Every structure is written in C-alpha cells, then in structure tokens.
Amino acid sequence: MADTYDDTNRGAAFTPFPTQQLILQGKVNVDGVEKKVLLVRDETKGGKQIIEMYEKLGVFFENDKKGNESAPDYSGPMGDGSSKRIAGWKKMKDNKPYMSFQISDKQGSATTTSAPVDNTLSDDTIPF
C-alpha cells in the first residue's frame, strides 16, 4: 500500500490565472455570523463567465526573521475565533512566486496577541 501525503493544516497559493480578477469585497451575514468576502470574476473551462465568492480565513503580518531563515515570512491569527495561527513562507518554483502555509495552535503568550487588523483592501499587488 502506497504512502499518501498528509496535507492536513497545510496549503499553498499561486499567481492567479489570467482569467481571474478581483472585482468586489464586502461582508455577508450567515445565520447571524458576519463574514468578510471577496468576489472574483473567472470563467469555466468552457468559457462561461462566473463569479466566485471567497471567505476571509485569517490575516498575515510580515515577520522579522531575525536571522532565522527557516522562520515564516508572514504569520498571524486565523479569523475564526479559534486558537489557531497561520504561517506563510515565500517560495519560487520555475521562476514563479508562490506561498506555502501551515496552520498550527498558537504558542505561548507572545503569539496570542496581535497588532490591530486593517480590514481595508489597499492595492492588488503581490506583497513580495
């Protein structure tokens, strides 16, 4: 039996497809719970125009790696009220940027507090 890769609490993000375009941001209330959302215009493989809705999961703050190159480039709290945090590492593959993520429990009191969150969208440039 072949070993399978366990991607629990892991992920990655890549450069958007040429067909994807951020068009709107806002909030939606689901059963009394307010959630931040983004709307992205895209198209199916068959060429049909669609709009996809994405929910905010957390926020990243740039880290001072203090000489530790294995430390995450970004980290921050998950936005679901849990005691989880998300960390991200900038990477390159085939001269294309991407970011890998890892979700973990918050560690110690230093990670249980965070800077104020700026919920506004600034510009649509990649921060690295």
Q: Which of 35, 13, 25, 39 is nearest to 121 (CA)?
A: 25
- With respect to residue 69, please indicate whether it lies within any of the assigned structural domains: yes
- With respect to residue 125, please indicate whether it lies within any of the assigned structural domains: no
Q: What is the pLDDT of residue 85?
A: 94
- With respect to residue 116, please indicate whether it lies within any of the assigned structural domains: no
Q: Under a CB-based contact definition with an 8 Å cutoff, are residues 57 and 115 in contact?
A: no
Report how many domains make up the chain: 1
Q: What is the pTM of this model?
A: 0.70
Residues lower than pLDDT 70 in the chain: 1-2, 108-128
- With respect to residue 18, please indicate whether it lies within any of the assigned structural domains: yes
Q: What is the pLDDT of residue 126?
A: 52
- With respect to residue 4, please indicate whether it lies within any of the assigned structural domains: no
What would the pLDDT profile of 26-60 be if each residue is shown by its tens digit? 999 999 989 999 999 999 999 999 999 999 999 99
Domain that holds residue 59: 10-111
Question: How would you classify the pairing of strands 21-30 and 10-14?
Answer: unpaired
